[in-house]
Amino acid sequence: MVVREAMTDPLIRHYGFIIIDLFTSVRDKWVDVLLSILLRIVKKRTTDLRVIILSKPGDLESWKDTLLSENAKVGAVSLKHACDLVKSINFLYLTTPTSDYIEETISTIINIHAKEPTGNIIAYVTTKTEVEQVIKQINSKFCDNSQRCLPFYSGLSKDDLDLIENPHYYNSYNKGNPVRMIIVTTAVIDSMAVEIPGVKFVVDTGLTRATFFNPGLESTSTITVPVSIPTLLARVGKITDLPGKCFRLHTTDFKLDLKTPPEFQRSSLADVMLSLLSFGINPVSFHYISKPPSGIMSQALSTLLSYSAIDEYGKLTKSGQIMSELLPGVSPLLARVILIGIESKCAEQMIRIVSMVQAGGIDTVFYTPFNDYQGKREAEAAHAQFEVDEGDYLTLLNIYNSAFPDHNTSRGRMSNSKWAKTRFLNYQALLRASSISAQIKSVLARHRISLSSTGCASANSSESVASNLIRKAIMKALI
């Protein structure tokens, strides 16, 4: 939001005090853009602007060094309670490295449940598949109702999140007696404002999934890597019932990075370059708080040129200006898909598809009950009503059209969650898609762009013709 406001007010003069919370949120590349711009502003507004960064304990010294080198009047503050918390935790490590951290996670959870009388458990693994694998095996070991094993990963429904944050709901399954909650999660829980009551134990593999962009191949890889020390400390912060225990499934000499490599230095930066150009900032000479590799910057500018977002002199084109106004909600690639859709006379359909993709795509929109065989069968049958042979994009379009049959209203059938729930669709994701669609249309309206869909106007009478037009428009944008 502040980055967007800086486009119209470069010194953001209506702000006098800004707090950036990096303790409970993830430092993504847009945070780096914000910090870089704020440091530039602070040097000009030396008396009437104060910026405070709330940092994870392990990151504090790094921030101090960075801010001192910038000679900037920005405060880096580590939340004191996090440091005090560590003193109340008993840390247990493996004596020898494990060859199978999933099996080690399972056996550790079983031992805790057998030996510790009370206290909820949070266990960290790296992927949704691993979450489901651990829960399946845990459930096969326990035959009573004294525990409840639940998953936590991106794309969970609001109902699932409510159950995790209100564990007393499950006491009725155990004759009113307390039920131990076992939450098996990916790193996504670290970036969400979720507080699970009664957590006394953390089981930490010390691993996470991280993305790395290869500018030479123009591809992104996601691999399993050790977490950084600040992340390790932050995970301990999930313990809410002190004193607690943290079971680290690695040895004490396990090699960890002193700080988390910024996403800014390992991601495609086409969207960031586009944003800076829209501010009137030269992205090549701009001073970044975390300087990205030159190869990533060169590739980003080449991508923008291929999208016709900039000209051969590196200046923003009209298309580029529209793309920049759609940031960060819509990536440059998907913004190009929309513009190609406008040229192909299927603008409305393309906006709906892009909105659904940005809301999380098929994996997020389709909701399948976990550990419920009958529920899974019902979900598959419900999802089949929307699926088409032409692929996920048109499946997403079908879902959007069904959820919002009257496209002049933003809610459609979504005024309550019942419609989505009975069809095993993620209600929050659908609302997010509707919001993104409205934002896209608002930007296009400012540029007086007509949202003609005459090319797909016969979608009801000739679905194959409309489908071919949409697929051709998408392929043209992607190639």
Give the model confidence (pLDDT) of 43-94 as tens digits: 888 778 888 877 766 566 666 666 655 655 555 444 444 455 666 899 999 9
Do residues 150 and 183 lie in contact, with contact meaning Cβ atoms separated by under 8 Å?
A: yes
The pLDDT-based confidence of 176 (bands split at 50, 70, 90) is: low
107 or 4, greater pLDDT: 107
Percent of the chain with pLDDT over 70: 81
Q: Taking 80 as the threshold, does the pLDDT of residue 474 lie above it? A: no
Do residues 104 and 206 lie in contact, with contact meaning Cβ atoms separated by under 8 Å?
A: no
The pLDDT-based confidence of 17 (bands split at 50, 70, 90) is: confident
Do residues 324 and 275 lie in contact, with contact meaning Cβ atoms separated by under 8 Å?
A: yes
Amino acid symbol at 272 = V
Do residues 53 and 65 lie in contact, with contact meaning Cβ atoms separated by under 8 Å?
A: no
Q: Return the closest-CA partner of residue 120 out of 192, 171, 69, 75.
A: 171
Look at the block and give the residue holding tokens 């490590």.
93
Q: Taking 60 as the threshold, does the pLDDT of residue 172 lie above it? A: no
Q: Taking 70 as the threshold, does the pLDDT of residue 379 lie above it? A: yes
Q: Which two tokens stand for residue 63?
A: 């921030």
**Residue 207 pairs with which residues in a beta bridge?**
226
Structure pTM?
0.81
The pLDDT-based confidence of 458 (bands split at 50, 70, 90) is: very low
Residue 52's pLDDT is what? 80
Residue 9's pLDDT is what? 77
Residue 287's pLDDT is what? 86
Q: Taking 90 as the threshold, does the pLDDT of residue 141 lie above it? A: no
Residue 81's pLDDT is what? 45
Residue 76's pLDDT is what? 47
344 or 151, greater pLDDT: 151
Q: Taking 80 as the threshold, does the pLDDT of residue 166 lie above it? A: no
For 41, 73, 81, the CA distances from 18, given in Å and listed in that order, are: 12, 12, 21
Percent of the chain with pLDDT over 90: 43
Question: Which burial class, exposed, middle or buried, applies to 346 when counting CB atoms under 10 A from its CB (0-12, 13-18, 19+)?
Answer: buried
The pLDDT-based confidence of 368 (bands split at 50, 70, 90) is: confident
33 or 248, greater pLDDT: 248
Q: Taking 80 as the threshold, does the pLDDT of residue 173 lie above it? A: no
Residue 326's pLDDT is what? 92
Residue 213's pLDDT is what? 92
Of 3-12, 105-114, 301-310, 317-326, the one with minimum mean pLDDT is: 3-12
Q: Return the closest-CA partner of residue 442 out of 336, 274, 330.
A: 330
Q: Return the closest-CA partner of residue 230 out of 262, 270, 257, 265.
A: 257
Q: What is the mean pLDDT of residues 3-21?
A: 78
Angle, helix 332-343 to helix 318-326, in steps of 10 degrees: 120
Distance CA 384, CA 187 (A): 31
Distance CA 437, CA 471 (A): 19
User: In this structure, which long-range contacts are made by residues 474-478, counting pairs with CB atoms below 8 Å and at least 24 apart in sequence?
Assistant: 474/337, 474/340, 474/350, 474/353, 474/393, 476/340, 476/344, 477/333, 477/336, 477/337, 477/339, 477/340, 477/341, 478/333, 478/337
CATH superfamily of the 83-248 domain: P-loop containing nucleotide triphosphate hydrolases (3.40.50.300)
Residue 423's pLDDT is what? 93
Please give, one letter per residue, the 3-state secondary structure of the chain: CHHHHCCCCCCCCCCCEEEEECCCCCCCHHHHHHHHHHHHHHCCCCCCCEEEEEECHHHHHHHHHHHHHHCCCEEEEECHHHHHHHCCEEEEECCCCCCCHHHHHHHHHHHHHHHCCCCEEEEECCCHHHHHHHHHHHHHHCCCCCEEEEEECCCCCHHHHHHHHCHHHHHHHHCCCCCEEEEEECHHHHHCCCCCCCEEEEEECCEEEEEEEECCCCEEEEEEEECEHHHHHHHHCCCCCCCEEEEECCCCCCCCECCCCCHHHCCCCHHHHHHHHHCCCCCCCCCCCCCCCHHHHHHHHHHHHHCCCECCCCCECHHHHHHHHHCCCCCHHHHHHHHHHHHCCCHHHHHHHHHHHHCCHHHHHECCCCCCHHHHHHHHHHHHCCCCCCCHHHHHHHHHHHHCCCCCCCCHHHHCCHHHHHCCECHHHHHHHHHHHHHHHHHHHHCCCCCCCHHHCCCCCCHHHHHHHHHHHHHHHHC
Strands 219-226 and 74-78: unpaired
